Amino acid sequence: MQKIFTRSIPNQDAMRELAKDLCENHFPKDASFTVFLKGSLGAGKTFLAKEILKFNGVPEEITSPTYALVNEYQARNLLIGHWDFYRLESPNDFFARGFQDLAGEANSNHLVEWPERLNEDGKAAFNGQKFNLHIDFGKTPEQRNIKLTKSE
């Protein structure tokens, strides 16, 4: 793992700015990527995923994929899958539902919440460069500590 940065984010406005910075300066513009969003319940994974989707030009309402497990959005010239595996019953369910086909689709990016519910084969099924983004609670109710790493 290559550490890219660690930051303290004081509030949701700063989280919006983080989404913009990630898209402009850290995620590839000409290649597919997957971001594994890790953190406790309520830490801000869905909020950050929504802000990344908005920054990428998703015009429609963005909803949490908690029950559907995945929502797909057309953003500019690519497909973005927003995944939430909190309710995944077993790591094998990923393959039983055929999700590996969508995860490996060319010219698509993925934002994956609760990736720790997948096994290594499930994580490997996602295409492109892989990033891990950890969101932890900070010292105040609105503060979050962010750590971004890139898989080698």
Domain boundaries, the chain: 2-150
- Tell me how far apart the alpha carbons of residues 64 and 27 are, in angstroms, rounded to a whole number: 22
99 closest CA partner among 39, 88, 128? 88
Encode pLDDT of 48-57 as tens digits: 999 999 999 9
At 89, is the secondary structure helix, strand, or coil?
coil
Which residues of the chain carry a pLDDT beneath 50? Answer: none
The per-residue pLDDT for 107 is 87
> Any residues with CB less than 8 A from the CB of 53 and at least 6 apart, and which?
62, 73, 75, 80, 82, 111
The per-residue pLDDT for 128 is 93
Per-residue CA distances from 102 to 69, 72, 134 (Å): 12, 10, 24
- Which superfamily does CATH assign the domain made up of 2-150 to? P-loop containing nucleotide triphosphate hydrolases (3.40.50.300)
